[in-house]
């Protein structure tokens, strides 16, 4: 049975003023599962007004009080773990085992924010014994959070937790096709006792709701994850007010397999990295550069590792790869595959759309491997955001592959496989990317900053560095001599 949802604005559940709604479909079955209110400028205006009214109340609470409330949110998320995981499976097609992992990860973001914010300190500057000069951090104000559909709730929580804990009030614009977990989050927040307007959830078309938030004079900051094109549009819309922007955008991340690499380990690690979440991850490999001496062996091992990844019903805990998020996105990814073939590349694995049950319904793309890709091809230049591994032509020298890896408008992440430490450090120093990983390491997202170079974004998320993004830095100078005792 289709459920009809409402937006959460100023602590109340409301329909769109227009009365319009739109459907949401289960990507694995194409079944309509919800009707979502189609909000617009009127709802944005109300949410901004509510957030601005709540800001003095929320921001003037002590850091201890805000941290304690965030810990309550974390505890509530734990209580609703099973429901959040089930919604993720249903609305996004996330395999159940991975959805369970993601739901278990959500509370930690609020716990981390609660404890980290209490360690935010100012800084004194010893200019003179007659002066008190110091720096202090304050909340930016009203923050619009605009998130993508690839990790529907995780992307919200990664921004909401740090923004909220340091004293900002927030509007959440979840992805149109994956908003159900955002509504569940609002239900949870509704039980916490926040001042009305501290957090608001508005749904509707990105061009309407997202555009209204980005251009609104009452919004002090936009925190956005999504495509480069939309990120640039948000910057343009916010430019008349010089709005603060934290933008986590796309990637075309190189994977470099050097001739001295541990081939079996590299293939076993990089295949799941490529195909997890059906390739709908900004950090996924975008281009494989393999040294000519080990190209055939790595490709063979990569295919073997890919074959071990089960594609199937997202509700089955054995499933590792589910459907892509929508029919539109499936068509887009298939268009990239076709363009590669048209330009002279070769599909050596996958690509065909499955038709036998349970794949006769839903938006399925089998894991696909393309070889013989040249630098100027579309699949080498643009982010595919699907289960498609792009193998560039083999390279011969370190200088050659560094130049080719950096020959992109993106600079989000890069992966290097070598057993030579000095050689690995050369790549660390010369690759133009916000994150460079050498070998088989898995850093915790909470503790390490994330963000790219070039058109992959502005600012950082995660870690203490990411927490600073949601604060203003104030310089204070006091003439101690003139102060009365």
Catalytic site positions: 248, 282
- Tell me whether strands 169-173 and 346-349 are parallel, antiparallel or unpaired: unpaired
Quick one: 22 exposed, middle or buried, by C-beta within 10 A (0-12, 13-18, 19+)? Answer: middle
Query: How far is residue 393 from each of residues 290, 293, 480, measured CA to CA in Å?
Result: 8, 12, 68
463 vs 175: CA distance, rounded Å: 25
41 vs 202: CA distance, rounded Å: 10
397 vs 399: CA distance, rounded Å: 5
For 80-117, where are the alpha helices, taking DSSP H only? Answer: 81-92, 96-117
Buried b (16+ CB within 10 A) or exposed e, 441-468: eeeebbeebbbbebbbbbbbbbbeebbb
DSSP label at residue 279: G
Q: For 462, phi and psi rounded to 5 degrees?
A: 70, 160
Query: How far is residue 387 from each of residues 29, 177, 367, measured CA to CA in Å?
Result: 19, 19, 5
Q: Are 30 and 205 in contact (CB under 8 A)?
A: no
The closest of 371, 380, 390 to 288, measured between CA atoms, is 390
Q: Are 459 and 469 in contact (CB under 8 A)?
A: yes
SS3 25: strand
- Tell me whether strands 3-4 and 457-458 are parallel, antiparallel or unpaired: unpaired
43 vs 48: CA distance, rounded Å: 9
DSSP lists the bridge partners of residue 416 as 256, 438
The closest of 267, 296, 274, 264 to 367, measured between CA atoms, is 274
Angle between the N-to-C axes of helices 81-92 and 96-117, in degrees from 0 to 180, rounded to the nearest 10: 120
DSSP lists the bridge partners of residue 221 as 143, 244
298 vs 264: CA distance, rounded Å: 7
- Tell me whether strands 435-438 and 413-417 are parallel, antiparallel or unpaired: parallel
199 vs 9: CA distance, rounded Å: 8
Q: Are 415 and 256 in contact (CB under 8 A)?
A: yes
Q: Are 278 and 365 in contact (CB under 8 A)?
A: yes
CA atoms within 13 A on the CB side of 74: 21
């Amino acid at each position: 049975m289709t459920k009809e949802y409402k937006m959460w604005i100023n602590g109340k559940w409301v329909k769109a003023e227009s009365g319009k709604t739109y459907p949401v479909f289960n990507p694995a079955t194409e079944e309509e599962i919800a009707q979502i209110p189609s909000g617009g400028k009127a709802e944005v205006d109300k949410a901004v007004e509510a957030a601005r009214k709540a800001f003095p109340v929320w921001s003037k609470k002590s850091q201890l009080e805000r941290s304690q409330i965030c810990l309550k949110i974390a505890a509530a998320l734990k209580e609703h773990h099973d429901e959040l995981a089930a919604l993720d499976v249903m609305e996004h097609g996330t395999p159940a085992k991975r959805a369970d992992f993601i739901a278990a990860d959500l509370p930690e973001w609020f716990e981390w924010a609660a404890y980290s914010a209490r360690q935010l300190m100012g800084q004194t500057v010893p200019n003179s014994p007659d002066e008190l000069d110091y720096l202090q951090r304050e909340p930016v104000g009203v923050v619009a959070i605009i998130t993508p559909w690839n990790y529907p709730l995780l992307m919200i929580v990664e921004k909401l937790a740090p923004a909220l804990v340091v004293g900002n009030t927030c509007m959440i614009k979840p992805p149109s096709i994956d908003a159900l977990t955002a509504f569940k989050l609002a239900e949870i927040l509704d039980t916490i006792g926040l001042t009305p307007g501290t957090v608001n959830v508005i749904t509707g078309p990105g061009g309407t709701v997202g555009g209204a938030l980005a251009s609104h004079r009452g919004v002090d900051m936009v925190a956005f994850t999504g495509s480069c094109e939309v990120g640039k549009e948000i910057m343009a819309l916010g430019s008349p007010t010089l709005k603060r922007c934290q933008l986590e955008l796309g990637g075309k991340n190189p994977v470099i397999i050097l001739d001295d690499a541990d081939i079996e380990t590299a293939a076993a690690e990089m295949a799941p990295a490529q195909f997890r979440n059906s390739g709908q991850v900004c950090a996924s490999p975008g281009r494989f550069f393999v040294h000519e001496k080990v190209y055939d062996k790595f490709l063979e091992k990569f295919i073997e590792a890919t074959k071990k990844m089960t594609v199937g019903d997202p509700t089955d805990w054995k499933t590792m790869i589910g459907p892509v998020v929508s029919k539109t996105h499936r068509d887009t990814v298939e268009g990239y595959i076709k363009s590669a073939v048209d330009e002279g590349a070769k599909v050596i694995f996958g690509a065909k759309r499955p038709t036998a049950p349970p794949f006769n319904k839903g938006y399925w793309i089998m894991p696909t491997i393309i070889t013989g890709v040249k630098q100027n091809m579309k699949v080498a230049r643009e982010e595919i955001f699907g289960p498609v591994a792009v193998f560039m032509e083999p390279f011969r020298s370190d200088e050659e592959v560094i130049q080719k890896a950096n020959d992109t408008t993106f600079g989000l992440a890069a992966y290097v496989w070598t057993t030579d430490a000095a050689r690995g450090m050369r790549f660390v120093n010369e690759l133009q990317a916000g994150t460079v990983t050498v070998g088989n390491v898995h850093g915790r997202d909470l503790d390490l900053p994330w963000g790219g170079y070039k058109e992959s974004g502005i600012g950082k998320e995660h870690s203490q560095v990411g927490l600073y993004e949601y604060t203003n830095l104030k310089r204070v100078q006091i003439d101690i001599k003139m102060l009365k005792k």
